[in-house]
Amino acid sequence: MTETGKTRTTPRPLRVGLAGPLAAALLLAGCATADRSGMLAADGGTVTADLADSAAARRFETVRHDPPRLRAFLYRMPKGADLHSHLTGAVYAESYLRMAAAAGLCFDTKAKGLTAPTAKAPCGDAASTRPSATAVIADSVLYPVALDALSTRDALPLSGYSLHDQFFATFGRFRAATASTGDLLAEVVDRAGRQGERHVELMVSFGTGPAADIGKAQGWTPQSAADLPATADRLTAAGLLALVPAARAEIDAAEARMRGLLNCGTPAARPGCAVSVRYLQQVARTQAPGPVFATTLFNALLQAQDPRVVGLNFVAPEDNPVALADYDLHMRMIAEAKRRSPGTNVALHAGELTLGLVPPEQLRDHIRKAVEIAGAQRIGHGVDVMYEDDPQGLLRLMADRKVAVEINLTSNDKILGVAGKAHPWPVYRAARVPTVLSTDDEGVSRIDLTNELQRAVEEFGLGYADLVGLARASLEHSFLPGASLWSAPGCTPSRQDGGACRTAVEGSEKARAQWSLEEALRRFDREAADGAM
């Protein structure tokens, strides 16, 4: 039962799918002969996998210092999950221009953004200040200008306008072309499938506009902040729960459009159809307190009603004046939402800051408060960890609680100027804090997950076993339901008892995704042994 007293209803199929029919895959694995690749023995017995001496690991060592071949190897390498990805930021500028052309939008050359035509300001030709997106695509001068405006392509820091500013400006510039969520999903999910990802958790905003409107209409007073439980009662009574069916219908429509574009369920199904998809509902932290709290409460209610939604996250620049001033209040809002809906999962942008971007006093406690007050299970970015008060104690706390950090190497480089030896990722790893690699906004940054793996190898010296460990960690710390594959006695990454692993897979969606990755890694190793890469 949810707090509101309504039972959790079960929607129609919740995901695009996992790689292959897993029940059949398990049967095949159980009938296989044990070999060096780590397949389960025919009698369901135990085999071990030695990553350090695997064929894939040996092949990796031959290409690790050869960037083109390393890229090809990593692209084919099976991956776990991308847990930190903003859907609208993951779509490439070229796609937004195509969608804008199809929708009849204009490109404002002064504002450098896409906009809808009006009777007073229709789209013009390439010589106008508001050319149509179709005219932009056809013009060899305007087209690269538009691509640069809608992404960080060719962007350079300028006095008074940084890469940070360019990065965040792009979202407003392409917003007019984001109307079809299903089209956005199709691009991002298919890219994930082509790279061998098993699962994605995408940050989205289904139904958050009407929820924010309720927050605006109810008003906000000092008493609202002082008594969050009473304020939450008032906001909920104003109609938050009634917004849930419309949000679920939005998800239905978006996924139906995505499946249609990807030809899922047909012989022409594209790779994205094999990717498990879940959603993290966004809260824009730069809004006034009323809309922020109403949206937070609504997102928790939506997760309780729809298993496709697996948590919430606060988004927008952490250094924004409103986000900084209201940070403590926001953490308390999340804690109240979790108190009311105890199953709410929380992944928070925290510590996406560095010295110079904000005063040093603003670097002291964001990560700690996200963990201790808001109860975040994952932290996005966490770049300023060593600026926090008692950083070693914070690292121990995160390690003890198994709070994972979503590492976004290219994003941190472009937005914060933090890369290589200046990045705290090795600090987290040394402290045994779980970490996962993710993309953040691959379209805006013009990257993919493979690129982030390559940066990990080239900048941090990671080996093949490290990369496999990161892939496994990404599924381990996903918000997929069910127990971990590795929680079953006798089923570990290095020693897999057939019966124990099969039992775990039968009862858990998370375990099924993890097993899918293990089977893909075994196939990858056999391909390496056969010289197929």
Q: What is the pLDDT of residues 71-122, one digit of tens each?
A: 999 999 999 999 999 999 999 999 999 999 999 999 999 999 999 999 999 9
In a domain, 396, yes or no: yes
Q: CB–CB of 334/349 below 8 Å?
A: no
Residue 461 C-beta-side C-alpha neighbours within 13 Å: 3
In a domain, 74, yes or no: no
| 208 and 322 co-located in one domain | yes
Domain total of the chain = 3
| 432 and 399 co-located in one domain | yes
The pLDDT assigned to 13 comes to 38
| 420 and 307 co-located in one domain | yes
pLDDT value at 316 more than 90: yes
The pLDDT assigned to 498 comes to 67
Any idea what the CATH number is for the domain that residue 276 is in? 3.20.20.140
Backbone phi, psi, residue 416, to 5°: -110, -15
| 206 and 261 co-located in one domain | yes
In a domain, 402, yes or no: yes
Q: Among 177, 212, 229, which residue terminates a domain?
A: 177
pLDDT value at 496 more than 50: yes
| 151 and 226 co-located in one domain | no
In a domain, 7, yes or no: no
pLDDT mean over 478-484: 97
For 340-371, what is each residue's pLDDT tens digit? 999 999 999 999 999 999 999 999 999 999 99
In a domain, 419, yes or no: yes
| 204 and 309 co-located in one domain | yes
> Rounded distance, CA 174 to CA 423, Å?
30
pTM for this predicted structure? 0.91
In a domain, 443, yes or no: yes
Q: Which range (40-49, 418-427, 459-468) has the least confidence?
A: 40-49
| 155 and 212 co-located in one domain | no
| 280 and 399 co-located in one domain | yes
Q: CB–CB of 463/70 below 8 Å?
A: no
> Rounded distance, CA 137 to CA 490, Å?
57
Q: Which range (55-64, 473-482, 493-502, 524-533) has the least confidence?
A: 493-502
Res. 22 pLDDT band, cuts 50 70 90: very low
- Residue range(s) defining the domain that contains residue 346: 199-461
Res. 196 pLDDT band, cuts 50 70 90: very high
| 402 and 439 co-located in one domain | yes
| 172 and 253 co-located in one domain | no
pLDDT mean over 149-166: 92
In a domain, 371, yes or no: yes
Q: What is the dihedral of CA 408, 379, 317, 286, to 10 degrees?
A: 150
| 171 and 306 co-located in one domain | no
| 203 and 108 co-located in one domain | no
Q: Among 147, 177, 207, which residue terminates a domain?
A: 177
